[in-house]
Amino acid sequence: MPMFPLGSVLLPGAVLPLHVFEPRYRRLVQDCLADNDHEFGVVLIERGVEVGGGDYRSMVGTVARMLQVAELEDGRYALVTVGTRRINVKAWLPDDPYPLAVVEDWPDVDDSAGSHGSPAERITAVAARVRHLNALAAELGDPSADTTSEIRPDLLVASYQLSTLAPLGPADRQRLLGARGPSERMDLLDVALDEVEDMLQFRLAHHAEGGATATDFDGP
């Protein structure tokens, strides 16, 4: 399968816009357009840089399907893609003419047995935390997701949706992508949110202290 290593993680159900300017990835887009599925794989670059080689790529990724393709006057492409399903990379092939890999689909397993609370309760609780932490991130001026969209009641879909909306870094999202199933993913997301909340609360406290100091200093 044609592969597009990136510095970010695409999760199933998430929308990924791409600006394609490298000649080899222009070729990838052209080849995918010629194929009926219009698909390629996306994996995280865990270490190194993709340009010039020497990067270390994740062995777990997501298939991206092209929804919109616009070819610009200078040959670049503007894409809108959506993650469709999770894949396991079995082997990397030579990057000729672009990154290629042997992959297999890796569906989530039903790991709901023994989980705490009903799926609806878990979704509601985690969704509330994700909205709260995005609000804190926005207060600090950090990028934050639009959490006004409805969270789907299906635990599998919701686990990916909430993992996409949560204010997490690539390493955390990659860990969530690799979860065995939706119940494990929600557990891992809860732990990740604990760490994010601690960090955001710490920054907010220092931000408030800095603001108070500045006010005292500027006063008469």
DSSP 85-113: EEEEEEEEEP-SSS-EEEEEE-PPP---T
What is the reported pLDDT for 212?
Answer: 45
What is the reported pLDDT for 83?
Answer: 98
What is the reported pLDDT for 28?
Answer: 97
What is the reported pLDDT for 215?
Answer: 37
| Mean pLDDT by groups of 10 residues along the chain of 220 residues | 96 97 96 96 83 77 98 94 98 96 97 81 96 95 91 96 97 97 97 96 83 40
| Single-letter residue type at 121 | E
- State how far the Cα of 82 lies from the Cα of 108, in Å rounded to an integer: 18
Q: Domains in the chain, please, with CATH?
A: 3-105 (2.30.130.40), 119-218 (no CATH)
The pTM assigned to this predicted structure is 0.89
What is the reported pLDDT for 6?
Answer: 95
Query: Cα separations (Å) of 146 from 10, 137, 138, 190?
Result: 17, 12, 10, 19
- State how far the Cα of 99 lies from the Cα of 152, in Å rounded to an integer: 34
DSSP 127-145: HHHHHHHHHHHHHTT----
